[in-house]
Amino acid sequence: MLFLTTNQERLDELSDGMKIIQCKDVFSFSTDAVLLASFTRLDANVRKVIDLGTGTGLIPLLLAKRYPKTYFTGLEIQERLADMSRRSVLYNVQHGNISANSINIVHGDLRQAVEEFGHGSFDALVSNPPYMEKGIGEQNPNQYKAIARHEIHCSLEQICQVSSQLLKSGGKAFYVYRSIRLAELISELRNNNLEPKRMRLVAPRIDKEPNIVLLEAIKNGKPGLRIEPTLAVYNEEGKYTDELLSMNPTSPS
């Protein structure tokens, strides 16, 4: 198939005819990315959004479908993933699932993002950053997955600092992170004038302790945090809950 470059790559269905290129040996989107895309809410006046660490481009694809008048940039440090993202975007443009020029995938380092795009150049920002500190925990031998999960090329402090620099005053940032590091996340956000405004915890099951947090912050926002009801990923039968299934993609890893 024209859009696939290796036998290991596959073209997976998302929803409404949309598809995404994935590769088990390289990278496949996770439930975290699905949760973040669903949690993200963009105002009507939002025109430019950046996804820091876009992976295979799932979040821009889903958001471009929901917000056709918004321009999305996906920034990815891993060249192979950036290439897969570009081809997924091309497929969906050519099949009429999203408009042409709605998504731009950039291969680059978020630590140089301000030099690339300029201060205050985005109305909103999303990020599913690496959640494990470098040197802590067993690192995945797969380099693609290790970079996605461990702070090898960037730290939480750097992500929050770059987020603030890229956003306009009043711009919104949306994150998905591990709840065990929630205090650290909030601290770093506030250190960079990003005020937490909306939060939702996610648990494997409703009777289990939450392990994921979804957080919305506003640059130069006033204090005041609203906490939404906890979301359960699986029901008592070990299947995805109805709410999770309603979030579009059908095959998160």
What is the mean predicted confidence (pLDDT) over 159-173? 97
Q: Is residue 55 part of a domain?
A: yes
- The tokens describing 133, both together, are 């500190």
Q: What is the mean pLDDT of residues 152-174?
A: 91
Instruction: Say what the pLDDT of residue 249 is.
Output: 63
What range does the domain containing 104 cover?
9-245
pTM of the model: 0.90
Residue 227 domain flag: yes
The domain that contains 209 carries what CATH number?
A: 3.40.50.150
Residue 221 pLDDT exceeds 70: yes
Q: What angle do CA 155, 117, 21 make, to 5 degrees?
A: 70
**CA–CA dist 147, 56 (Å, integer):** 13
Q: Tell me if 141 is assigned to some domain.
A: yes
Burial tier of 136 (Cβ tally within 10 Å: 0-12, 13-18, 19+): exposed
Residue recorded with tokens 């990815």: 76
The pLDDT assigned to 3 comes to 80
Assess if residue 1 is contained within a domain. no
Instruction: List the one residue out of 57, 85, 15 whose CA is nearest residue 247.
Output: 15
Percent of the chain at pLDDT above 90?
75
The answer to which of 75-84, 139-148, 169-178 has the lowest mean pLDDT is: 139-148
pLDDT at 148 over 60: no
User: What confidence tens digit (pLDDT) does each residue in 14-73 have?
Assistant: 988 899 999 888 778 888 999 999 999 999 999 999 999 999 999 999 999 999 999 999
| Stretch 93-115: mean pLDDT | 95
Give the residue-averaged pLDDT of 99-106: 96
Residue 30 lies in a domain: yes
- C-alpha 231/C-alpha 246 separation (Å) is 13
pLDDT: which is higher, 142 or 53:
53
Share of the chain above pLDDT 70, in %: 88
What's the domain count of the chain? 1
Question: Is residue 150 situated within a structural domain?
Answer: yes
Alpha-carbon span 227 to 150, nearest angstrom: 28
Tell whether 171 is covered by a domain: yes
Our CA dihedral for 174, 218, 78, 179, rounded to 10 degrees, sits at: -50
3-state helix, strand, coil in the chain (%, to 5): 30, 30, 40
